[in-house]
């Protein structure tokens, strides 16, 4: 081998070593740059993590508030339903009592009519029975056929009339008032 060939081989090896050194230096620089960039990204992600945690807490609080409001709304709806049911029950009870009242009123009127038929002190020529719930009042406010004092027309005011009688009722226990 000639010296020239050896110098060419040595020069080629040196060039290869220089290229390897340059590549290693560039690679180390990139790794260092990548490490710095990774550290910066980790810092940013840490900051974002705090923000994410705060948002998570806010979302959970909002969800809890929504559940609370929904529960209150359902409670109010249930309360309203209970009140509506109670109102319906009371209306039904009132209707039952009104029906009972009508029956008792009819029974009362029938008992009073029978007592008036049996009582010898009651004149049989009184005006006909007025159905319950209706009145035969004139525009002056007094009953038809009576004077302003309540006595039949033509009768003195101090004479007891049927509406002011205080004698015992048919069972003898209680005064009867119209």
d(CA 50, CA 17): 49
Token pair for 83: 């009140």
pLDDT at 80: 92
**Residues 88-123 pLDDT 10s:** 999 999 999 999 999 999 999 999 999 888 888 877
Better-predicted residue by pLDDT, 36 or 174 = 36
Q: How many CA atoms lie within 13 A of 85 on its CB side?
A: 6
**Residues 143-161 pLDDT 10s:** 444 444 444 454 445 444 4
Q: Are 100 and 92 in contact (CB under 8 A)?
A: no
Residue 163: pLDDT over 80: no
Q: Burial, 104: exposed, middle or buried (Cβ in 10 Å; 0-12, 13-18, 19+)?
A: exposed
Q: Is 61 helix (H, G, I), strand (E, B) or coil?
A: helix
d(CA 160, CA 151): 8
N-terminal to C-terminal alpha carbon distance within the chain: 155
Residue 164: pLDDT over 60: no
Dihedral over alpha carbons 116, 121, 123, 129 (to 10 degrees)? -20
**Residues 132-142 pLDDT 10s:** 554 444 444 44
Confidence tier at 25 by pLDDT (50, 70, 90): very high
pLDDT at 93: 93
The pTM of the full predicted model, rounded to 2 decimals, is 0.37
């Amino acid at each position: 081998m000639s010296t020239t060939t050896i110098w060419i081989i040595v020069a080629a090896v040196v060039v290869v070593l220089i290229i390897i050194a340059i590549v290693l230096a560039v690679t180390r620089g990139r790794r260092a740059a990548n490490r710095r960039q990774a550290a910066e990204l980790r810092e940013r992600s840490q900051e974002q993590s705090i923000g994410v945690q705060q948002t998570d807490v806010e979302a959970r609080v909002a969800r809890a508030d929504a559940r609370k409001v929904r529960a209150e709304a359902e409670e109010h709806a249930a309360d309203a339903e209970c009140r509506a049911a109670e109102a319906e029950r009371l209306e039904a009870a009132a209707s039952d009592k009104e029906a009972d009242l009508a029956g008792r009123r009819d029974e009362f009127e029938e008992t009073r009519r029978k007592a008036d038929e049996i009582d010898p002190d009651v004149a049989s020529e009184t005006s006909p029975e007025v159905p319950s719930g209706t009145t035969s009042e004139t525009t002056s406010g007094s009953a038809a056929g009576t004077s302003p004092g309540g006595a039949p027309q033509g009768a003195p005011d101090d004479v007891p009339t049927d509406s002011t009688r205080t004698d015992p009722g048919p069972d003898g226990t209680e005064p009867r008032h119209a």
